[in-house]
Amino acid sequence: MFYLKRAIYQYTFHIFAKKSGKLFNVLRLLNEREKITFKLHLLYMLIEGIVLGVLALNEFVFLKSINGSNYQLGLLFQFSMIVFLFLILINEFLKRVKNRKRLLRATAILSRLPLLLIFFFPRNAEAYDSPVYHLIYLGLFLIYFAGNLVIYPNINYLLKGNYTHSNFGKLYSYSTSLNKIVMLLVTFIYGYLLDIDNYVFTYILPITGFLAIISVYVLSLIPQPLEKNVTTPSSGIFKAVSSSIKEMKDILKTNVPYRHFEVGFMLYGFAFMISVTVITIYFYDGLNLNYSSVAFYRNAYNILAIILLPYFGKLL
């Protein structure tokens, strides 16, 4: 198994090294605004790769180190998805925000800073027999995931407004590939550290929260897109949300190919959300895997993403 892991990691880095050469050729053709945006987004994705590399093992940490129940584990994962039910409301709110830079920084502090409280979690198994720490842990990550409601739409807004259409796919795929490389490394290192000390998360997660604040701050430095003839919506937020929902219903009724796509994607989403928690429980109860092994299996997706993203990015 060790030699298989090493061979896969070496092949992954070889692929990324080849793509890096093409990246420098692409950079020469960018305008000044695209260069600034790409550099800042690349730095954001690098730091965020560290954050996501740690969080890749979050469910398994909750199950094995904190001794959370299977039901609570399901909630922890669902929190990362359920918050996006409010995207329509948040989108209407964002349309009315003039200073997105300040909003991003405030969101980073309010949603990421609470993770520093994990530093005060106990470092012995007996303390986690009480559900208090389970509930605090769930609450902290509900707040964390809620912050993504503001951050993720703004990433799309900043990149779409600063990249030309012809370069968007290529630049985004390179940034994402770097993100996956860093995430792969961090997940493996974090898993190794957890095998040495099951409670090292009490140090790592607070540091991760601090890095998450820095990453969003870097994101906020990306120049705000130059928009012409943009008017602030005059109607109320709830009226606008109601209008958006009605518009979506009309699209689903009239656009049959889009409706088929949405139904298929929704069914895929249901299967994904059900299977992720079940697989994590099976890793722990059925296979009795250690953290390093789980880190390796979680990295299988990242390895494929690193290899394929530069190719599929050209199609965007």
The CATH code that applies to domain 2-227+234-239+290-313 is 1.20.1250
* pLDDT tens per residue across span 34-93: 888 999 999 999 999 999 999 999 999 999 999 989 889 988 988 988 888 888 888 878
Place of tokens 């009309």: 250
SS3 of 221, please?
A: coil
- Look up the pTM and report it: 0.84
SS3 of 268, please?
A: helix
What letters, b where the CB count within 10 A reaches 16 and e where it falls short, cover 213-222? bbbbbbbbbb
Digit-by-digit pLDDT tens for the chain (316 residues) are 555 555 555 555 555 555 555 555 566 667 788 888 999 999 999 999 999 999 999 999 999 999 989 889 988 988 988 888 888 888 878 878 888 899 999 999 999 999 999 999 999 888 898 899 999 999 999 999 999 999 999 998 888 888 888 788 888 888 888 888 899 899 999 999 999 999 999 999 999 999 999 999 999 999 888 765 555 666 677 777 787 788 888 888 888 888 888 889 888 888 888 888 888 888 888 888 889 888 888 777 667 766 666 566 555 5
Residue 124 token pair: 């012995």
Cα–Cα distance measured from residue 33 to residue 31, given in angstroms and rounded to the nearest whole number: 6
